[in-house]
Amino acid sequence: MPFFDLLSILIALYLASLASSYAITGVPGGVNTITGQRPFRQEFSTFKNSGPPFDLYILSLQQLQQQNQSALLSFYQVAGIHGHPYIAWDGVQGGYQAGYCTHGSILFPSWHRPYMVLYEQLLWNNAQRIAATYPAAQRSTYQAAATSFRVPYWDWAINATMPDPVNDPMITINTPRGTLSMVNPLYNYTFHPHPSATDFPPTDTIAQYNSTLRYPNFATGESQPSLANAQLQANAEAIQVLTYQLIADQSNYAPFSNSGYTDARGDAYNSLENMHNAIHAFVGGGGHMSIIPYAGFDPIFWLHHANVDRLLAIWQAIYPNSYTTPEVNAEGTFTIAPGSNDTISSPLTPFHSDGYGTLYTSTTARYTRYFGYTYPEVVDWGVNATQLSSNVRTALNNLYNPTGSISTRSVPHKYKRHSNITGPYPHPNATTSKSSTGEYQYFVNIRVDRSALHRPFFIHFFLGPVPPNPITWSHAPTLIASHSILYYPIATNTTTTTSPTYGQLPLNHALARLKPSPPDTAPPTVEEVLKNELSWRVQDFESRHVETGGVRGLKIFVVGREVLQRAGGDRFAVYGGWGVLRGATEGKVGGVGEGEGM
């Protein structure tokens, strides 16, 4: 054996003996290191019909869930990084009463990227072993599928209904032992053993259940996925509009990334985190997904977060130069003291990039190409940045806004010019602009203290009568959409801190279905309609009505602007300036106060 080989083996052995942390690297299978081409994470509804990749996914997830819960790389420990139990993972110590996950923080998108990669890597490793056990006639097909295996995402902006078969208790797939019906690992996760009182505080209602639940009936301990789907469907139009607008219209990473950013937000109150919160809340409805420290245990968490990561990747391809800027983290995490200044080099605890304790940062977790995967809309090899941005904008328009009129669509009448428009209406100078489309878009903006109720809650918005029974609010025919606050008392003493959080909901889809139709959609008309028809109700995740007056820091106002040019091809729409329709919420509890500035 040549001396150098021996030396390099000795060095490798020496380095391996030092290794003390688990390296999250992403998976190499199917990556062309010359061209940069790499496999897609696929949309779930396509992926579920893929045969071998889907079979391997289900079997790999089942194996992961069966791992001894005290093992570092078990489903329980990995899901537990996000929240409970508040213990060290992979040797990264912390002391605050919170999980490692970053919310209301500039680190929200970048933290969840290596987290998803860890999960993907564990499933991929299982898939390699499982593929090798298929009968000889199928083995090479399954091994090829295992090599390019990547986790799927659920695109809730295309179809807000939870995808089949995630709500089926049983699932039928082709296993190494033939076609079998088995317990569906996407349906729930069953704790084994049930977490101790130190892992899951018994004062939490949800802690008593032995499996994860979606929209639980707390009395029977059963999931009610049809209630979750009803709420998701009632919000489907709003979800699509907000997803599209967020990417098409927010070019600054800080307000794009998180709901806790307070500086210079303008009237763009939506964020990736805000969209993400809504899905957690609608799926969970008081169950695991809607309670941050328990959310990671529901297997649908990982379908949801793959989509959140995809929207980040799409946004990054369009706005490649904007990224993490310093931001104060009001809430803190297991390792981050409340009030810390998060930056691009803050460690994304507890995720290591190597075996020697190096933690990821937002810089080293910036691109999907560092981790060997991408998404169908983001083919970033063989093109320059300009072309990539153009391709991704085209893909986004085709997917979520094919007619170019999203968020103004179905508007029943053309805008009619009024000679006496006055006041702070959208873009006063645009009404004479030649390029004007005569269309407006309107949104409700919401600002509220995250800890206003010391528990999570919805604010439901209605156009027209509010049904008397609060149980039906989440999916009422007159519902515009719901805003969700995912508060959980995390780092100690947050109950005394106030941290504003921001959200936004569209109005045009609800205005369009109003009967009788308003005569036009110009600001004075819409302001008058909203003054009479717009209202809101606050409800906690156990369906209890909460008086709006008791919600600390609540401020609701309506904004609108003119669409000067529609989207089309690789072009996003051009808008006039924002204006506030004070009359829409003035004098209502939580609305604009008299004589108050914005």
| Cα(283)–Cα(289) distance, integer angstroms | 6
The answer to whether 446 and 413 are in contact (CB under 8 A) is no
Look at residue 89 and give its three-state secondary structure.
strand
Binding of ligand NAG by 376 (CB under 6 A) = no
For residue 153, what is the enclosing H or E element?
A: none
Contact track, ligand NAG, 165-184, x by CB under 6 A: ----x-------------xx
Binding region for ligand NAG (CB under 6 A) out of 259-267, 280-288, 379-387, 434-442: 379-387
Binding region for ligand NAG (CB under 6 A) out of 13-21, 251-259, 383-391, 532-540: 383-391
| Cα(353)–Cα(360) distance, integer angstroms | 6
The answer to whether 302 and 314 are in contact (CB under 8 A) is no
Binding region for ligand NAG (CB under 6 A) out of 85-93, 156-164, 295-303, 551-559: 156-164
Q: How far is the CB of 140 from ligand NAG (least distance, A)?
A: 31
Residue of 138, 210, 251, 358 interacting with ligand NAG (CB under 6 A): 210
Binding region for ligand NAG (CB under 6 A) out of 5-13, 205-213, 268-276, 281-289: 205-213
Q: How far is the CB of 228 from ligand NAG (least distance, A)?
A: 12
Binding of ligand NAG by 464 (CB under 6 A) = no
The answer to whether 499 and 555 are in contact (CB under 8 A) is no
Q: 25 vs 210, which CB is nearer to ligand NAG?
A: 210
**Angle, CA 172 vertex, CA 168 and CA 175 arms, to 5°:** 140
Q: 161 vs 548, which CB is nearer to ligand NAG?
A: 161
| Cα(512)–Cα(445) distance, integer angstroms | 19
Binding of ligand NAG by 418 (CB under 6 A) = yes
Largest CA distance in the chain: 92
For residue 10, what is the enclosing H or E element?
A: helix 3-18
Binding region for ligand NAG (CB under 6 A) out of 209-217, 315-323, 353-361, 500-508: 209-217
Q: In this structure, what are the phi and psi dihedrals at residue 460, rounded to the nearest 5 degrees?
A: -90, 135
Sign of CA dihedral 292, 296, 297, 303: positive
Binding of ligand NAG by 141 (CB under 6 A) = no
Binding region for ligand NAG (CB under 6 A) out of 25-33, 105-113, 263-271, 384-392: 384-392
Binding of ligand NAG by 340 (CB under 6 A) = no
Q: 576 vs 590, which CB is nearer to ligand NAG?
A: 576
Binding of ligand NAG by 422 (CB under 6 A) = no
Q: How many residues bind ligand NAG (CB under 6 A)?
A: 34
Residue nearest to ligand NAG (CB): 211
Burial 555-565 (b: 16+ CB within 10 A, else e): bbbbbbbbbbe
Residues 216-245 that bind ligand NAG (CB under 6 A): 221
Binding of ligand NAG by 284 (CB under 6 A) = no
| Cα(55)–Cα(69) distance, integer angstroms | 24
CA–chain centroid gap for 546, Å, is 26
Cis preceding-peptide flag for 193 (omega within 30 of 0): yes
Dig out the tokens for 475 from the structure.
């999916």
Q: How far is the CB of 365 from ligand NAG (least distance, A)?
A: 19
CB atoms within 10 A of CB 8: 11
Binding of ligand NAG by 68 (CB under 6 A) = yes
Residues 310-339 that bind ligand NAG (CB under 6 A): 326, 328
The answer to whether 229 and 161 are in contact (CB under 8 A) is yes
| Cα(463)–Cα(484) distance, integer angstroms | 18
Q: 13 vs 429, which CB is nearer to ligand NAG?
A: 429
Dig out the tokens for 336 from the structure.
């981050």
Q: 334 vs 462, which CB is nearer to ligand NAG?
A: 334
Ramachandran quadrant class, 436 (left: phi over 0; alpha: psi -120 to 50; beta: rest)? beta
Note the helical H segments in 167-268.
Answer: 225-234, 236-249, 253-257
Binding of ligand NAG by 366 (CB under 6 A) = no
Instruction: Return the residue matching tokens 């609060």.
Output: 470
Binding region for ligand NAG (CB under 6 A) out of 6-14, 161-169, 265-273, 360-368: 161-169
Q: 325 vs 548, which CB is nearer to ligand NAG?
A: 325
Q: 164 vs 596, which CB is nearer to ligand NAG?
A: 164
Dig out the tokens for 185 from the structure.
């690992």
Binding region for ligand NAG (CB under 6 A) out of 145-153, 268-276, 380-388, 477-485: 380-388
Binding site for ligand NAG (CB under 6 A): 68, 70, 159, 161, 163-164, 169, 183-184, 187-188, 190, 194, 208-211, 221, 326, 328, 341, 343, 384, 386-387, 418, 420, 427, 429, 492-493, 524, 576-577
